[in-house]
Amino acid sequence: MSENKQTHFGYQNVAESEKAKKVADVFHSVAGDYDLMNDLMSFGVHRLWKQFTIDNVNVRPGQKVLDIAGGTGDLAKAFAKKVGPEGEVILADINASMLEQGKDRLIDEGIAGNVQFVQANAECLPFQDNSFDRVTIAFGLRNVTHIDKALRSMYRVLKPGGSLSILEFSKPVLPGLKPIYDIYSFQVLPRLGEWIVGDKDSYQYLAESIRMFPSQANLIEKMQQAGFEDCHYNNLSGGIVALHKGYKY
């Protein structure tokens, strides 16, 4: 029966019905220190990955943009400036703590005038068909229980001619990078989490969830199966991160 179906939570096998809560617990735990830990974990390079994404998404004035798993609002902040007063950005996140962090940040910076904040599950987005010119998700897709279902949901709400951009950790392709990356991920990263925020387990999950995520080519296949066309990806930092993009025609 469906309630007994298993999925992965990092390297653990858990009931599908339990994964969303477990992921929520992780992000409730780290929300207050999320930006600080991103800077520490990536040595600030996450800002370059996000800027590459922002430039590549090609948002224009007057457009409507959905940023899923928008967290503390790095992408939504940039998109809000690009769409201007005639456009609209929706920052969506399944996690209330992360959504509150993003809302507070954008309001404090005076950028929330054309931004809406919506608590939403990527697998069943609460928006009408063909609603958005651009859909983005940065470092969030690996946390959903059913990636295929989430991709279909994103396809549904995207307007014909619109694009989906997925920024996510991926598989290192640079020769010699993988063993170094593994040492950092499984020995350094959890200790950073323990020292800085007193939470080793959440960052152990982070490392494991990255390893369980599909490869660059496998994610392209999943996007195509969901209906996206002209799918392609750019490796960043030797494939540690990749930006995938596809279109709805």
Per the domain annotation, does 163 fall within a domain?
yes
Distance between alpha carbon 92 and the CA centroid of its chain, in Å?
A: 11
What pLDDT score was predicted for residue 112? 78
What pLDDT score was predicted for residue 1? 41
Per the domain annotation, does 5 fall within a domain?
no
Do 101 and 72 contact (CB within 8 A), yes or no? yes
Cα–Cα distance, 66 to 89 (Å, whole number): 6
Specify the pTM. Answer: 0.88
What pLDDT score was predicted for residue 33? 65
Per the domain annotation, does 212 fall within a domain?
yes
Q: Which of the residues in the chain have pLDDT under 50?
A: 1-2
Which pairs count as long-range contacts for 191-200, CB under 8 Å and 24+ apart, including other chains? 192/37, 192/40, 192/41, 193/30, 193/37, 196/33, 196/36, 196/37, 196/40, 197/29, 197/30, 197/32, 197/33, 197/37, 199/29, 199/30
Amino acid identity for residue 113 in this structure: G
- The total number of residues shown for the chain amounts to 249
Number of alpha carbons in the 13 Å side-chain half-sphere of residue 111? 21
Per the domain annotation, does 30 fall within a domain?
yes
Greatest alpha-carbon span in the chain = 49
Tell me the CATH number at 122.
3.40.50.150
Distance between alpha carbon 102 and the CA centroid of its chain, in Å?
A: 14
Tokens of 99: 């959504």
Taking the CA atoms of residue 7, residue 10, residue 13 and residue 16 in that order, the dihedral angle to the nearest 10 degrees is -30
Split into its structural domains, the chain has a count of 1
Q: Which residues pair with 90 in a beta bridge?
A: 66, 116
Per the domain annotation, does 194 fall within a domain?
no
Tokens of 94: 């399944």
Range of the domain at 240: 25-174+204-247
What pLDDT score was predicted for residue 31? 58
